[in-house]
Amino acid sequence: MTESYRPPSDILEVLQQIEYEEPLGPDDPRYVDTREARGSQRTLDRLARKLGLLLADGRMYPPRQKHVLFFGHTGSGKTTELLHYATQLEGPGRFCIVQLDITKDLDRNNLQYADTLMAMARALLHRLDVAGVDLGTDALAPLDAWFSERVLTTEAGRELRTEIKTGAAGKGGIPGLVKLFASFTAAFKANATYKDELRRVIRNSFGELAAAFNTLIQRAEDALRDTGNGSRVVFIIDGTDKLRGEDTRLFFVHDAEQLLAIETLVVYTAPLSLKYEGNLAGKLDADLMLPMIKLAERNGTPCDAGMRAVRDILLRRADRTLFATDDDIERLVQACGGHPRELLRLLKLCCEFAEDDCIDAATVDAAVRQLASEYRRFLAPDDYALLAGIDRDGIHAGNDERTRRLLYNLALLEYNDGTWRRSHPVVRTLEGYARAAEAAAETGN
Amino acid sequence: MTDDAHRFHLDRHRAATELAPEHIPDFQRLLKDLCYGSRFQLLILDCRDERLRELLIARIDEVLEGRRLRPARLRLAPDDPADVPALEAVLATLAADHDAIHITGADAWLTDPRWRALNIRREAIAERAPARLLLWLTPEQVSRLPDLAPDLWAWRSGVFAFEAAPDEPRPAPERFDAAIDNRSLAQRSRRIAELRAYLAEDPPPPDDLRLPLLDELATLYEDLGEWDKALRIRREEELPVYERLGDVRSAAITQGQIADVLQARGELDAALRIRREEALPVFERLGDVREVAITQGKIADVLQARGELDAALRIRREEALPVFERLGDVHSLLITRANIALALLQRAADGDRVEANTLLCEALADARRLRIPETETIERMLAEQGMDCDATAPMR
């Protein structure tokens, strides 16, 4: 922990600082190394190897292209971990990391490959611009030409050009293209009329665009190597795990070939439910997962590393003096099931329930009861039966729609790269679960 | 605790006293989120009863406005706004100059397709309408939300349930008769709600149950500085009953309590008149020397507050002090001595300072022996005056 950092010691300040959606950057003092706790010491190694880097000795044998999906429960810390992975993967002789968050840069409602491609191009150009890397006009020519011939001749293109007052040709070089792509991306995000027309343009001339983009990437990688900024580009695309239903299938399944036409290295965050739908395109690398923090092993033996890590996460959000006893901390740790966002949710509930500046046993009880009651609202009797069955014999229990739904809404948690599952601890406090567990014990199911 | 936090707690506990006891925990949680949580929040409120909802909205807004947070109300009609983009636009407009937006009428408006549309527009809504969105729903809608809009559900800042009051009669609250009331602000506010709910039962509870609870309720209001509410109970609910029952002593005590409230509000003349004309003669007639001495002490308080120090000193020395000495009422005695010391220090005549020092030291010795909170006050008074108890008066 950074020496000068002190977690808030006032309940209201703790409450004020809880943001579920906030990923922790590499220097954030609230970050806790959870690799041992998750059993994910090898997750970064595996990701690096998929991209062609042997972290142990720094040897690089990158493939021409690789599109890796990075799975994990909602709120399990994918973004935070990726931010840390980026610091390990980046550097001279390694990779130049280009990060983009589609939830910020694009409208994830009805996100399509076209939007993502434009955002990737903008992010790469911006990265080059910031690094002061000059590509020369011939490297940009194919993309420039595609713009001039295909986009700027459309009504939307002409309007965009007027809006930004200068096109790629007007300003020239990387800064001009950055500006143009930024306008393009903004139009995708905010302007439904332009979006449809521009998407049509991209669909109709996708081959040309992909070739132009691939040329840009290759020339960028040459220039990055020459300037000691990394030998290959890796795009880390975050927020794609937040796509839902039809949008997920469209993006990762229906339009996967278009994504794969871009010859580069890409890591996408992906929703856990997609992993079990079984219809992913073969070329997408879909076996990397961020495991949950384990509080116990599959056989029930406590996992000290997991307990320690969750405790650390908690005590970097709320000062130890706020808790009446170590037992109260322990109970919160156990109740979250090793899920960081659920831990924050419980801590927030404690702050809401606590009278005075103290989280005691009664406060923890109230928080657990409240979170459990929120699960009770949507769990059906059959859900309890399934959860009790999974807990009873530790089987994987398949991936039918009910199981996927329970995984998605966190009533069911998955550990060790998905090799075993357990119901959420607060769900196990509910009467419906107790009855189902009793029934399962009686029938031996 | 900072002054701001103290003020916040006082406001939210005061606001909660108007609610039924079962609604207080979630109401209090909600206020913490609203006032201390982030700027954008999606707060799910489960409340079927429209009257209760309106009462809650009024109380919430009162606290928000007290903290300079601007609440707004968006009443959805089945086709107004026309769709989710239109809703987004309305919310964006409201969020431009409001901090919290109550969204009501959502049950009829939120069809399944609209729920799904909302689910995928959550980031856009958070960006365009960065305010606390209070979504008032029925329990059925809340139960369907996780399936129809799972991302919206995952984003919830909290779920707060306000069920209608139970139909069966409430059990009578237990009498509170501890000598020292050290209940926390939260406990007091919950107790007020409990007492209010029970006292509002139809038919009302019998007088012998009702009167002590009314007395406690008024005292709790006084503790929270809710003078008008305390005064109304004393004047309109307690006093008429005692008068009807012919209980002159209790009526006189209630008159004294009315005078206490008036005095706290700075209405010194009115308080003095009641003590002299309504309370004191009754206690004298009844031969209740202790109540006479207490009332005399309070009359002296008013005189002292008006700067009539000699008159106040005379009453305390001649009317109050001897009675408490005779009765062996150590607590009242030490308070009277401290008050005499205060008057002496204010008057500052020859010898007053020495006498005040002696009296304060005597009071301190008794306060320490009784282990009461007044110990600290007396110690502070001595320190402020640069006095000690070593030379002037040996500690007893």
Please tell me the total count of domains within chain A: 2
Inter-chain CB proximity A352 and B161 less than 8 Å: no
Choose the closest CB to B186 out of A75, A355, A377.
Answer: A355
A23-27, A56-60, B389-393: least confidently modelled range:
B389-393
Chain B interface mutation, best of A241, A378, A426, highest count of B Cβ atoms under 10 Å: A378
| Strand bridging mode A420-423 / A412-415 | antiparallel
User: Looking at beta carbons, which residues of chain B come within 8 Å of A376?
Assistant: none
* pLDDT tens-digit readout, B187-235: 888 899 889 988 988 888 888 888 999 999 999 999 888 999 999 999 9
Strand partners, A72: A271
Name the interface residues of A facing B (CB cutoff 8 Å): 10, 12, 15-16, 18-21, 74-75, 103, 107-110, 242, 244, 247, 348-349, 351-353, 355-357, 366, 370, 373-374, 377-378, 405, 408-409
pLDDT in the model for residue A335 = 97
Choose the closest CB to A352 out of B32, B154, B185.
Answer: B32
Say whether pLDDT at A200 is over 90: no
Chain A interface mutation, best of B41, B120, B155, highest count of A Cβ atoms under 10 Å: B120
Choose the closest CB to A12 out of B36, B145, B154.
Answer: B36
Is there a single domain that holds both residue A280 and residue A139? yes
Taking the alpha carbons of A71, A76, A82, A88 in that order, is the dihedral positive or negative?
negative
Choose the closest CB to A16 out of B36, B156, B186.
Answer: B36
Q: What three-state secondary structure class fits A289?
A: strand
Is there a single domain that holds both residue A273 and residue A392? no
Residues 91-150 of B with CB under 8 A from A: 119-121, 123-124, 142-147, 150
Stronger pLDDT, A342 or A416, i.e. the higher one: A342
Choose the closest CB to A409 out of B2, B120, B146.
Answer: B146
How many angstroms separate the CA atoms of A82 and B377, rounded? 58
Q: Shortest Cα distance from B154 to chain A (angstroms)?
A: 8
Is there a single domain that holds both residue A202 and residue A81? yes
Residue B23 in contact with residue B53, Cβ under 8 Å? Answer: no
Residue A339 in contact with residue A410, Cβ under 8 Å? Answer: yes
Inter-chain CB proximity A378 and B146 less than 8 Å: yes
pLDDT in the model for residue A169 = 45
Does residue A155 fall inside a structural domain? yes
Choose the closest CB to A109 out of B28, B121, B186.
Answer: B121
Is there a single domain that holds both residue A397 and residue A263? no
Inter-chain CB proximity A357 and B120 less than 8 Å: no
Determine how many CB atoms are found less than 10 A away from the CB of residue A33. Answer: 11
All residues at 6 or more sequence positions from A4 whose CB lies less than 8 Å from its CB, including other chains: none
* pLDDT tens-digit readout, B115-130: 888 887 777 788 889 9
* pLDDT tens-digit readout, A319-377: 999 999 999 999 999 999 999 999 999 999 999 999 878 999 999 999 999 999 999 99
Does residue A274 fall inside a structural domain? yes
Does residue A281 fall inside a structural domain? yes
Q: Does B227 touch chain A (CB under 8 A)?
A: no
Beta strands in A158-216 (DSSP E): none
Taking the alpha carbons of B217, B222, B226, B228 in that order, is the dihedral positive or negative?
positive
pLDDT in the model for residue A311 = 97
Nearest Cα residue to A263 out of A215, A306, A298: A215
pLDDT tier at B278, thresholds 50, 70, 90 = very high
User: Looking at beta carbons, which residues of chain B come within 8 Å of A107?
Assistant: 123-124
User: Looking at beta carbons, which residues of chain A come within 8 Å of B37?
Assistant: 15-16, 18
Last residue of a domain, one of A246, A272, A289: A289
Choose the closest CB to B29 out of A19, A353, A373.
Answer: A353
pLDDT in the model for residue B44 = 96
Q: What three-state secondary structure class fits B331?
A: helix
Does residue A310 fall inside a structural domain? no
The amino acid at residue A189 is K
pLDDT in the model for residue A3 = 62
pLDDT in the model for residue B149 = 85
Domain of A409 in residue numbering reads as 381-443
Inter-chain CB proximity A244 and B38 less than 8 Å: no
Residues 255-314 of B with CB under 8 A from A: none
pLDDT tier at B1, thresholds 50, 70, 90 = low
pLDDT in the model for residue B4 = 84
Is there a single domain that holds both residue A141 and residue A280? yes
How many angstroms separate the CA atoms of A287 and A284, rounded? 9
Q: Shortest Cα distance from B199 to chain A (angstroms)?
A: 26
pLDDT in the model for residue B241 = 93
Is there a single domain that holds both residue A133 and residue A269? yes
Domain architecture of chain B: domains with CATH: 3-161 (3.40.50.300), 307-396 (no CATH)
Taking the alpha carbons of B302, B308, B311, B313 in that order, is the dihedral positive or negative?
positive
Does residue A340 fall inside a structural domain? no
Q: For Cα atoms A337, A341, A342, give the angle at the middle one, nearest 5 degrees.
A: 40
Structure tokens given for A74: 């909602």
Inter-chain CB proximity A108 and B151 less than 8 Å: no
Residue A182 in contact with residue A241, Cβ under 8 Å? Answer: no
- CB burial readout A400-413, b (16+ within 10 A) else e: eebbbbbbbbbbbb
Does residue A55 fall inside a structural domain? yes
Q: What is the dihedral of CA B310, B311, B317, B318, to 10 degrees?
A: 140
Q: Does B184 touch chain A (CB under 8 A)?
A: yes
Q: Shortest Cα distance from B59 to chain A (angstroms)?
A: 18
Last residue of a domain, one of A258, A273, A289: A289
- Interface ipTM: 0.77
pLDDT in the model for residue B6 = 84
Last residue of a domain, one of A289, A324, A351: A289
Does residue A369 fall inside a structural domain? no
Choose the closest CB to B5 out of A12, A348, A353.
Answer: A12
Distances (CA, A) of B38 to A254, B32, B90, B129, B158: 38, 11, 21, 13, 12
DSSP string, A366-387: HHHHHHHHHHHTT--HHHHHHH
The amino acid at residue B168 is E
Is there a single domain that holds both residue A263 and residue A400? no
Chain-centre distance of CA B288, in angstroms? Answer: 32
Does residue A349 fall inside a structural domain? no
Q: What is the mean pLDDT of chain B?
A: 90
How many angstroms separate the CA atoms of A260 and A323, rounded? 51
